[in-house]
Amino acid sequence: MTDIVGTAEVVGGACLFLLLVYRQVRTGARDAWREVAESQTALAETQTARAEALDAQVKTLIAEVRSLRLENEALRIEVASLRRENSELREHIDNLIGGPRGDSE
């Protein structure tokens, strides 16, 4: 009977030890997974914030490009007008000085 009691004490102690080790491993694994999950959540939030900031920058750049295109078109029209005016003034000067080469005959 004492052998059975002795064996039961050893088996019980071993079971208790294994149960404690199992709980520690389970708790450690759960904590590790929790840390990984929190890390991934923080990374996702950071990436989302960065994506939103980049989206805002892209929208601003698109608006600026549209504005610059309109300004460029207005400048092209103005340059064409100035070229026409320049050509007309050259013709007028040529007529005043006696021809395109300035030849007086």
* Residue 76 and residue 70 in contact, taking contact as beta carbons nearer than 8 Å: no
Q: What is the DSSP letter of 99?
A: S
pLDDT of residue 103: 54
For residues 77 and 85, give the distance between their C-alpha atoms in angstroms, rounded to a whole number.
Answer: 12
How does residue 8 score in pLDDT terms, banded at 50, 70 and 90?
Answer: confident
Taking a C-beta distance cutoff of 8 angstroms, is the pair 96, 88 a contact?
Answer: no
Alpha-carbon gap, residue 47 to 63, rounded angstroms: 24
Question: What does the alpha-carbon distance between residue 78 and residue 84 come to, in Å, rounded to a whole number?
Answer: 10
pLDDT in tens, 65-77: 999 999 999 999 9
Q: What is the pLDDT of residues 24-62, one digit of tens each?
A: 888 888 989 999 999 999 999 999 999 999 999 999 999
Rounded to two decimals, the pTM is 0.53
Using CA atoms, how far apart are residues 80 and 74, in angstroms rounded to an integer? Answer: 10
